[in-house]
Amino acid sequence: MELVTGGAGFIGSHLVDALVAQGKRVRVLDNFSSGREEFLAHHGEQVEVVRADLLDLDATKAAMKGVETVHHMAANPDIRLGTEVTDTDLRQGTVATYNVLEAMRSAGVSRISFSSSSAIYGEADVMPTPETYGPIKPISLYGASKLASEGLISAWCGTFGAKSWIHRFANIVGPRGTHGVIFDFIHKLKADPTRLEVLGDGLQEKSYMSAEDCVRAMVHLVDETDEAVNLYNLGTGDTCSVRRIAEIVVEESAIEGVAIEYTGGSRGWAGDVPRTSLDVEYLFSTGFEPTMQSEAAIRHTTRALIDEIGL
Amino acid sequence: MELVTGGAGFIGSHLVDALVAQGKRVRVLDNFSSGREEFLAHHGEQVEVVRADLLDLDATKAAMKGVETVHHMAANPDIRLGTEVTDTDLRQGTVATYNVLEAMRSAGVSRISFSSSSAIYGEADVMPTPETYGPIKPISLYGASKLASEGLISAWCGTFGAKSWIHRFANIVGPRGTHGVIFDFIHKLKADPTRLEVLGDGLQEKSYMSAEDCVRAMVHLVDETDEAVNLYNLGTGDTCSVRRIAEIVVEESAIEGVAIEYTGGSRGWAGDVPRTSLDVEYLFSTGFEPTMQSEAAIRHTTRALIDEIGL
């Protein structure tokens, strides 16, 4: 049995699809704060769903019964929220990860695959940024909680003999996205089809990977790598600017005469990292190849989300 | 006004001494779980003492009044405890640091100097280990909480404009030590002067720095460095084995015929790192020099603790 925390969420539900396709039995643990039942509906009875919060340690322990590997995907999905309610990421990130690990320990479950983030690197002065980059100085509270979770997982491996896979995600985009720049742009166009407001100067440049490629890479690494702590950047090796994303969304919307307007400044919001580029040679060395580069992933996602949101 | 959390503790009280010697007004915030009133008694009314726990956010906020720089030294001092009560370091390390930062933010205090640890590096495969080493994989829950605190501090600087000094300590030894290998050895000899049991094979090899040099380095870096996040290893540049420490303690005890016995194995306990060596060239490049190397710091500490504990 595989347990997917946050399995009803955006990337989590794609991972459930990938595990089910592998023939695995899957249990989802989700508090449905951002997860949605319809993201799992196509699996019917095949996927067991536990509606509980990771801050409830007893419920988390109960969900560990018969589990081989925990895929810990649950987290606050909104980086910006951390600047307003400053304990959001501490609780839903760091403390939740502690509860997952403690529940695993008490149930004798020893394998964990974890969705970390390129947000831990902050404004790295080496780009593309390799896994060996240091010292790591996150600039968002979200990034801090991912770094804290990595540390907890590594300490559990060192102290209690667990085995782990830590995946440092680029920006992941795809069908079922419930937040992020493409999602925001489509909602803005829906509210006002004459103009599209872009936070910052549009020159922010980041790595994007499709959710489908992302979960394929996760499953690949869990199957193919075997250290105590297996730590990899997950991305495509290239980047795409926010300006280009705005253009693609407008193109795909098929709305004529949209004025793209920039609020200015290099950051979209406090804690936003203007430029990220992940070195993914280590991932590629394991034999993995993404099917879509950044721009293709953006276009694929735009089409899927326009379909889901409606324009 | 300078605020020292954990200022009644081992290293914290040495820092209070150093700040008072600089002519600074000092407030100590301590829950006296391992801190002691007698460590501050020589300052009389000169040092203000607030008896409160950092997990009490309101009390922590109240202690920020008029503070220029927070020196955040409070933490669970016992690395081994983390393997037994697994939320010790999460609460007394990570959550306590969050509370300090949140209290600073709400009070408008923007400078923090933090005692991190070489424990974050786990079993690094580069030695001496520089600050740029990555990926960081702590093997103790204590190390995980220090890494989590570094991330929170860095995120506070990136998001709310704070300024920070992060000090990654070697093993710090000195007068007023309330835990650690020298402290344990003296207590063992006091209980049974015929033999000294050493956990592990005695070949563990670590960097040691005297508490006096440590706080001198902290004050030096806060005065002399000016980045948003100033991150330095603090140590002496050499190492000393546990076997050598046992020999020095026996020598200084002046007890004849002590049998030194090893329990065997490369680790003193689960989560113990057998060998640490910090690269301190970056610290030295700022003009700082320690007055004692590792072995001198061990002997100095042994004499002071034999005097304090009594043999």
> Per-residue pLDDT tens for A186-208?
999 999 999 999 999 999 999 99
Q: Is B282 a catalytic residue?
A: no
> So what's the pLDDT on residue B81?
84
What whole-number distance in Å separates Cα of residue A68 and Cα of residue B45? Answer: 59
Does the residue A280 lie in any domain? no
Does the pLDDT of residue A77 top 90, yes or no? no
Provide DSSP, B34-69: S--GGGTGGGGGGEEEEE--TT-HHHHHHTTTT-SE
Per the CB < 8 Å rule, is A138 touching B132? no
3-state secondary structure of B222: helix
The tens digit of pLDDT for each residue in A239-250 reads: 999 999 999 999
3-state secondary structure of A241: strand
**Chain A residues whose beta carbon lies within 8 Å of the beta carbon of residue B138:** 151, 154-155, 158
Q: Which of B156, B95, B124 is nearest to A122 (CA)?
A: B156
The tens digit of pLDDT for each residue in A42-74 reads: 999 999 999 999 999 999 999 999 999 999 999
Query: In the structure encoding, which two tokens stand for residue B94, read together?
Result: 């990570």
Provide DSSP, B251-274: HHHT-SSPEEEE--SS-SSTT--S
Q: Are A266 and A204 in contact (CB under 8 A)?
A: yes
Q: Measure the CA dihedral A132/A138/A140/A145, to 10°.
A: 70
Shared-domain flag, residues A261 and A158: no
> So what's the pLDDT on residue A100?
98
The tens digit of pLDDT for each residue in B204-248 reads: 999 999 999 999 999 999 999 999 999 999 999 999 999 999 999
Does the residue A283 lie in any domain? no
Does the pLDDT of residue A215 top 80, yes or no? yes
User: For chain B, what's the residue count?
Assistant: 311
Shared-domain flag, residues B220 and B83: yes
Q: Are B127 and B88 in contact (CB under 8 A)?
A: no
Query: Residues 112-141, chain A: which have Cβ within 8 Å of B?
Result: 120, 122-123, 131-141
What is the mean predicted confidence (pLDDT) over B256-263? Answer: 96
Determine which of A118-127, B196-205, B266-275 has the lowest per-residue pLDDT on average: B266-275
Task: Determine the residue of chain A that is closest to B137 in CA distance.
Answer: A154
Does the residue A83 lie in any domain? yes
Does the pLDDT of residue B268 top 90, yes or no? no
Shared-domain flag, residues A87 and A158: yes
Task: Determine the residue of chain A that is closest to B271 in CA distance.
Answer: A159
What percent of chain A stands above pLDDT 70?
Answer: 99
Q: Enter the pTM of the model.
A: 0.95
- Phi-psi label, residue B207: left if phi above 0, alpha if psi -120 to 50, beta otherwise: beta
What is the mean predicted confidence (pLDDT) over B11-39? Answer: 97
What whole-number distance in Å separates Cα of residue B90 and Cα of residue A182? Answer: 36
> So what's the pLDDT on residue A147?
98
Shared-domain flag, residues A146 and A40: yes
Shared-domain flag, residues B108 and B192: no
**For all residues of chain A together, what is the average pLDDT?**
96
Give the largest Cα separation in chain B, rounded: 60
Q: In total, how many domains does chain B have?
A: 2
User: In this structure, how many other beta carbons lie within 10 angstroms of the beta carbon of residue A289?
Assistant: 12
The minimum CA-CA distance between A289 and chain B, rounded to whole Å, is 23
Provide DSSP, A190-220: HH-TTEEEESS-S--EE-EEEHHHHHHHHHH
Rg of the Cα trace of chain A? 19
Does the pLDDT of residue A272 top 90, yes or no? no
Identify the residue whose tokens are 């380095």.
B217
Work out the pLDDT band at A81, boundaries 50, 70, 90.
confident
Q: Are A121 and A133 in contact (CB under 8 A)?
A: yes
The minimum CA-CA distance between B148 and chain A, rounded to whole Å, is 4
Task: List, in sequence order, the alpha helices (H) in chain A.
Answer: 10-21, 57-62, 88-89, 96-107, 141-160, 181-191, 211-224, 242-253, 281-284, 294-309
Shared-domain flag, residues A229 and A265: no
Task: List, in sequence order, the alpha helices (H) in chain B.
Answer: 10-21, 57-62, 88-89, 96-107, 141-160, 181-191, 211-224, 242-253, 281-284, 294-309
Q: Are A24 and A57 in contact (CB under 8 A)?
A: no
Query: In the structure encoding, which two tokens stand for residue A70, read together?
Result: 């925990």
What whole-number distance in Å separates Cα of residue A96 and Cα of residue A34? Answer: 15
B199 HSE (CA, 13 A, CB side): 14
Per the CB < 8 Å rule, is A138 touching B120? no
Task: Determine the residue of chain A that is closest to B99 in CA distance.
Answer: A87
Q: Measure the CA dihedral A205/A211/A212/A214, to 10°.
A: 70
User: In this structure, how many other beta carbons lie within 10 angstroms of the beta carbon of residue A160?
Assistant: 17
Q: Which of A278, A255, A8 is nearest to A120 (CA)?
A: A278
**For all residues of chain B together, what is the average pLDDT?**
96
Identify the residue whose tokens are 């008072």.
B20
Does the pLDDT of residue A274 top 90, yes or no? no
User: For chain A, what's the residue count?
Assistant: 311
Q: Are B61 and B100 in contact (CB under 8 A)?
A: no
Angle between helices A211-224 and A10-21 (to 10 degrees): 50
What whole-number distance in Å separates Cα of residue A78 and Cα of residue A178? Answer: 9
Shared-domain flag, residues A104 and A215: yes
Q: Are A293 and A285 in contact (CB under 8 A)?
A: no
Work out the pLDDT band at B17, boundaries 50, 70, 90.
very high
**Chain A residues whose beta carbon lies within 8 Å of the beta carbon of residue B136:** 134, 136, 151, 154
Does the pLDDT of residue A269 top 90, yes or no? no
State whether residue B260 sits within 8 Å of chain A by CB: no
What whole-number distance in Å separates Cα of residue A33 and Cα of residue B43? Answer: 53
> So what's the pLDDT on residue B271?
65
The tens digit of pLDDT for each residue in B79-120 reads: 888 888 999 999 999 999 999 999 999 999 999 999 999 999
State whether residue A102 sits within 8 Å of chain B by CB: yes
Q: Which residues pair with A309 in a beta bridge?
A: none
Residue A63 makes CB contacts below 8 A (sequence gap 6+) with A3, A27, A29, A50, A52, A103
Does the pLDDT of residue A304 top 80, yes or no? yes
Query: In the structure encoding, which two tokens stand for residue A90, read together?
Result: 């501490």
Shared-domain flag, residues A220 and A257: no
Per the CB < 8 Å rule, is B159 touching A136? no
What whole-number distance in Å separates Cα of residue A123 and Cα of residue A136? Answer: 9
3-state secondary structure of B131: coil
* A226 or B274: which leads in pLDDT: A226
What whole-number distance in Å separates Cα of residue A159 and Cα of residue A153? Answer: 10
Shared-domain flag, residues B215 and B126: yes
Q: Measure the CA dihedral A252/A258/A264/A267, to 10°.
A: -20
Does the pLDDT of residue A78 top 90, yes or no? no
Shared-domain flag, residues B192 and B138: no
Annotate B133-165 with b (16+ C-beta within 10 A) or e (fewer). Answer: bbbbbbbbbbbbbbbbbbbbbbbbbbbbebbbb
Identify the residue whose tokens are 């804290």.
A148
> So what's the pLDDT on residue B179?
87
Per the CB < 8 Å rule, is B102 touching A86? yes
3-state secondary structure of B140: coil
CATH number, position B284: 3.90.25.10
Query: In the structure encoding, which two tokens stand for residue B264, read together?
Result: 């065997």
Q: Are A38 and A50 in contact (CB under 8 A)?
A: no
Per the CB < 8 Å rule, is B159 touching A231? no
3-state secondary structure of A291: coil
> Nearest 5°: phi and psi at A90?
-60, -45
CATH number, position B15: 3.40.50.720
Task: Determine the residue of chain B that is closest to A105 in CA distance.
Answer: B86
ipTM of the complex: 0.94
> So what's the pLDDT on residue A83?
86
DSSP character at residue A263: -
Shared-domain flag, residues A264 and A139: no
The tens digit of pLDDT for each residue in A120-135 reads: 999 999 999 999 999 9
Query: Residues 154-193, chain B: which have Cβ within 8 Å of A?
Result: 154-155, 157-160
Shared-domain flag, residues B163 and B253: no
> So what's the pLDDT on residue A271?
65
Work out the pLDDT band at B78, boundaries 50, 70, 90.
confident
What is the mean predicted confidence (pLDDT) over A29-45? Answer: 96
Per the CB < 8 Å rule, is B122 touching A82? no
Per the CB < 8 Å rule, is A135 touching B132? yes
Query: Residues 136-155, chain A: which have Cβ within 8 Å of B?
Result: 136-141, 143-145, 147-148, 150-152, 154-155
The residue range of the domain holding B252 is: 175-206+238-309
**Chain B residues whose beta carbon lies within 8 Å of the beta carbon of residue A105:** 86
What is the mean predicted confidence (pLDDT) over A35-40? Answer: 96
Does the residue A120 lie in any domain? yes
